[in-house]
Structure 1
Amino acid sequence: MQVGIVTVGDELLAGDTENTNATWLCDELDARGVRVRRVTTVPDETGEIARVVNEYHAEYDAVIVTGGLGPTHDDVTMEGVAAAFGRDVREHPEAEAWLAERDGYSADDLDPRTTHLPADARLLPNETGVAPGAVVESAYVLPGVPSEMKAMFRGVADEFTGERTYAETVETPEPESALLDRIGDLRAEFDVSVGSYPGETVRIKITATDPETAESAAAWLRDRVEATDAEA
């Protein structure tokens, strides 16, 4: 399964808020064997949301959209997703009934748009907040508040499946450029994918479809690179 992620918010593009939702979702999906192909952050603009969601819907099995749900002037995500699928945003009876059953909340206290969803959308209840989410064809629309997003995603997580992978990490103080030949030999020796990430040390991530191959490949490489001080 291949997925695109769209995070919505002017505050993300301005650097006022760290985009932890994208990182968390990528980690969760990777653990389920789902391949995240692209992550895009867009402003609180209906046209931009619709354009990217439409593109991802055409290219991937599912789209996850986070942020911009609610009744305020810049909460336009539902309108953008609806536009991507040529739908209207309208009163959603199931969302209204769900809100009426919530303790501590009254529809009279909230903007009516709180329970407006794209036509024929599937309701995703928000167990830790007010604004509901929705599923529109392949698009899953989740809140931007991290605690709300995580709770809502967990409710649909089983709908995201793929071939699980297993990863091992090897660290070395050697420069990345000096490792190229050994990484090439590693790929030739084992059926694995390899990523290298430089920093204070070089972190080499080895990924395979079974744990034994990942472990064997990591052991092979550890025997051929300089160990870090912690491993020496």
Structure 2
Amino acid sequence: MAEEAHGSEGGLVFHPMDQFQVKPLFGDGAVHWYTPTNVTLWMAISVLCVIALLVIGTRGRAIVPSRIQSVAELMYGFVYKMVEDVAGKDAIRYFPYIMTLFSFIVFANTLGLLPMSFTTTTHIAVTAVLAMLVFVFVTVLGFVKNGTKFLELFWVKSAPLALRPVLAIIELISYFVRPVSHSIRLAGNMMAGHAVIKVFAGFAAIAVISPVSVVAITAMYGLELLVSFIQAYVFTILTCVYLKDALHPSH
């Protein structure tokens, strides 16, 4: 996974951030908005994996489920329970959207652990779009469901009257910061783990410490596999929290 080179003075040189470069699939030209890249390729693979698991893998609907159907049912039940517990029963109608988000992020994260793959969720451009879609969705839903009462989300009635305007400004700022924190949290955690793995892989070229590097890489792979699911869970549960605010804006 690492790329090593010896510098002019004989020192070991490696570039852990090179793995996050966006490259065109065909040729070496400039990347435009319409250029097929490694990012679009692995996003498409992630979507195909979601379809294979949740559509093709469950089409038989067997009473005694296959392994694929069992995995799909476990994922379905896990996300369904999360939506119901966090956002409430009236949020169940939006379960398909949240399930799609969770499934895509899980596959995008885990596929990035394969050799020669690309982790699309390490790019802020990808996670920012996902976060902005959630932000726009819950904001529009909040006004559609509650009208101007949605603004009560920013008016803390339990606070003293003199403090309410100040708290309203703080609540408003924190609300618009949501897509920023929502996207950076996912991209930052995924990027950090992959960069650490590549650093350890770079040290594997040194014979004296290569056994330690191999053990560290193996441990980091296991940790990154866990982080892949945790970050998908965090992104999804925050979406459920924002959805709850849109459906029940009163403090």
Q: TM-score, normalised by structure 1?
A: 0.28
Q: TM-score, normalised by structure 2?
A: 0.27
| Structure with the bigger percentage of strand | 1
Larger relative contact order (CA 8 Å, sep ≥ 6): 2
| Structure with the bigger percentage of helix | 2
